[in-house]
Structure 1
Amino acid sequence: MSRSQSTNVEGKVYSSSPVPVLLFRQLRPKQWTKNLLVFAALIFSFPNVNTEMLIRSLVAFFLFSFVSGCVYILNDFVDREADRQHPKKRHRPMASGALNPYVALVFGAILLVCSLALAAYLEPRFGLVLFVYFIMNVGYSFQLKHVVIVDVMIIALGFVFRALGGGLVIEVPVTPWFFICTLLLALFLAISKRRHELILLENNMGSHRKVLDKYSKDLLNQLNSIVTTATIMSYGLFTFTSGRTQYLMATIPLVIYGIFRYLYLIHMEDKGGSPEEVLLKDKHILFTVILYALSVIIILKYFS
């Protein structure tokens, strides 16, 4: 089958899908794993977790997912003509012509207003965090992603907002060291993503982000070394100063292994371009994350 025939077949698959299915795809549910960080405050609240806190955290997770999906809709609406020239992005609902872009835009606007309203009703401060998160991501999509260093900082701050929002919605304060750990770990993931994109560019295998012209592999490796060291040290300090129990220090080896495993994947297997895919596809990372969450819950329940 020729390339054009393959493209046509994919186009028919999209065209035959109902509009609600296309709108759901436009929200990019595969990216929603990033919003699991909303549950971090809930996990560290054990054993003082109740049904209401669980429900509020679940609602916060979906609200973050919907709002980030609205950013994707706006971004794809503006870039739909350029995306049609991209080997992968041309198959997105709007770029492929399967979804009316104005229908998607109206849907996104309604979803955004409803999500922000529900967030404000749930907890006004959480609503404010979600609104700032949306504005920040719009700024990133249209301008800030082209500014060196600022681009990875914005990505990292997005994770911090998720963690902060998860704490606010269940009225659990986020400690300074937890804030720093989240920021550093998110920077590690963002820098690794840029490194992966730079390698693809060098091998002529990927799209060209303008900001990559201002990075080098040596610079990104050095930044990652700094951030990796700082992440492990700050997490160690967090376990001793969390105010819960020093037995949390037993989870430090899991954090170190998880980071080392991710470094192995980005350096030896050229992965890291999509953290959510690494989480779901690499059994070692997935097992480590699950074991870490269970360890924290058990320690807080029985040793605090």
Structure 2
Amino acid sequence: MGSDGRVLAGRDAAGSGGRVPAGRDPVNGEAVAARPPADAPAAVRTGWGISPMALLRACRPRQWLKNALVFAAPTTAGVLVTAQGALGALIAFAAFCVAASGTYLLNDAADVAADRRHPRKRHRPIAAGLVPVRLARVIGAVLVALAPALAALSGDWRLPAVVAGYLALTFSYTYWLKHQAVVDLVAVAGCHVVRAFAGAVAVDVPVTSWFLVVVSLGSLQLVAGKREAELRASGGGSARAILAAYTPGYLAGVRAMSSGAMIVTYCLWALNERAGLFYGISIVPFVLIVLRHNLLVDRGVGEEPEELALHDRPTQVFVALLLVPLVIGIYLT
């Protein structure tokens, strides 16, 4: 029986896997076109075979927040307010967004079997069958090829080279490094450092050792917290095999070590390398951000660090309190 009370020709919906088959209405003789069931995914119901929104979700636009690291060096160097500095930083940001989306598509296509066993990742568009694996690979390859070309718009050959290095590190992680305990932590943290370094290259400013150490340690803290949260949430039965090599205590130790060293490094930079009251004031919200992240990870929240930045109100307040004295110290004094 159809939704409008008519009996549809052909096998019933149950016998056809829930799909309404083609045929003719026996009441008035009108043709009845085959159509997917009402509860079919949006990708199945489109004429192109996929949902554009599902494809966009597969590109993980929320993850683009990580690429905001390219603005760190231009901001601290005081050149982000210039036309050339802003343009260079935006080109770097766009290139890394394209590169990241391409690698996410290829990575999810490679991990589709494992993702389907994961309680959260099984809802990703590729794992859920909303985006075909083959299509994800094709579009991912196109985006990966496009990213260095987009970076070349900066007019500096070094930026496409940095983007290519980021892609090489990402693919090394996808197909090898993520299976190596400890190395996988450093590899993911390294991707964050490359983003920050690309921002400096894009606007042609030198990268200080203070900057690299703070970014490296902060990245390691985030990665260790992410792995720790995943391990606690899985209860030892995670689809990510590498987690079996870790214990929550070890990852908590890595997180504590990196966060403590980062705070010390930032304090030394703010008090010794930079003169002025506002740099010293920025230490307080910086420490609050680090402590807040550690607290959330201990509570079991930290699998998606970008979600904390988007939805955790205290973190957002602390970040704003950090930016105010830094902006004043860099641009107004």
TM-score, length basis structure 2: 0.81
Deviations 1:147-191 (A, max 9, x none): 111111111111110110011101111111110000001111111
Residue identity matched to 2:293 = Y
**Secondary structure in structure 2 of the residue aligned to 1:96:** coil
Q: Which residue of 2 aligns with 1:250?
A: 281
Residue identity matched to 2:69 = L
Q: Which residue of 2 aligns with 1:56?
A: 88
Distance 1:48 1:265 in 2: 32
Residue 146 of structure 2 corresponds to residue 114 of structure 1:
yes
Structure number with higher helix proportion: 1
Q: Which residue of 1 aligns with 2:328?
A: 298
Residue identity matched to 2:123 = H
Q: Which residue of 2 aligns with 1:161?
A: 194
Range that drifts further, 251-260 or 42-51: 42-51
Range that drifts further, 194-203 or 178-187: 194-203
Cα distance 1:54–1:47, how it changes in 2: closer, same or farther (>3 A)? closer
Q: How does 1:89-128 map to 2 (within 5 A)?
A: 89-122=121-154, 123-128=156-161
Residue 206 of structure 2 corresponds to residue 173 of structure 1:
yes
- Out of 18, 34, 46, the residue aligned to residue 78 of structure 2 is 46
Residue identity matched to 1:260 = L
Q: Which residue of 2 aligns with 1:214?
A: 245
Q: How does 1:258-273 map to 2 (within 5 A)?
A: 258-267=289-298, 269-273=299-303
Q: CA deviation at 1:81?
A: 4.0
Note if contact 2:118-2:239 (Cα within 8 Å) is conserved in structure 1.
no
Percent identity of paired positions between Structure 1 and Structure 2: 32
Residue identity matched to 2:217 = L
Distance 1:48 1:194 in 2: 33
Residue identity matched to 1:12 = P
Note if contact 1:57-1:170 (Cα within 8 Å) is conserved in structure 2.
yes
Cα distance 1:94–1:263, how it changes in 2: closer, same or farther (>3 A)? closer
Q: Which residue of 2 aligns with 1:15?
A: 44
Deviations 1:58-99 (A, max 9, x none): 221121111011111111222334434444333333333332
Q: CA deviation at 1:290?
A: 2.3
Deviations 1:199-226 (A, max 9, x none): 112275xx33222222112222222221
Residue identity matched to 2:100 = S
Note if contact 1:11-1:98 (Cα within 8 Å) is conserved in structure 2.
no
Cα distance 1:9–1:155, how it changes in 2: closer, same or farther (>3 A)? farther
Cα distance 1:47–1:115, how it changes in 2: closer, same or farther (>3 A)? closer
Q: CA deviation at 1:242?
A: 4.2
Q: CA deviation at 1:119?
A: 1.2
Note if contact 1:43-1:293 (Cα within 8 Å) is conserved in structure 2.
no
Residue identity matched to 2:120 = K
Answer with 1 or 2: which has the greater Rg.
Answer: 2
Note if contact 2:98-2:147 (Cα within 8 Å) is conserved in structure 1.
yes
Note if contact 2:91-2:153 (Cα within 8 Å) is conserved in structure 1.
no
Residue identity matched to 1:171 = D
Distance 2:146 2:38 in 1: 36
Note if contact 1:191-1:223 (Cα within 8 Å) is conserved in structure 2.
yes
TM-score, length basis structure 1: 0.88
CA RMSD of aligned residues (A): 2.4
Structure 2 unmatched runs, 5+: 1-17, 19-36
Specify which structure has the bigger relative contact order, considering alpha-carbon pairs within 8 angstroms and separated by 6 or more residues.
Answer: 1
Deviations 1:110-162 (A, max 9, x none): 22222211213422111111111111111111221121111111111111101
**Secondary structure in structure 1 of the residue aligned to 2:77:** coil
Cα distance 1:9–1:241, how it changes in 2: closer, same or farther (>3 A)? farther
Cα distance 1:91–1:223, how it changes in 2: closer, same or farther (>3 A)? closer
Deviations 1:13-61 (A, max 9, x none): 3434665433322211111111111111122132673122112212211
Q: Which residue of 1 aligns with 2:162?
A: 129
Structure 1 unmatched runs, 5+: none
Residue identity matched to 1:152 = L
Q: Which residue of 1 aligns with 2:14?
A: none
Note if contact 2:96-2:163 (Cα within 8 Å) is conserved in structure 1.
yes
Aligned length: 295
**Secondary structure in structure 2 of the residue aligned to 1:272:** coil
Range that drifts further, 91-100 or 291-300: 91-100
Note if contact 1:47-1:297 (Cα within 8 Å) is conserved in structure 2.
no
Q: Which residue of 2 aligns with 1:150?
A: 183
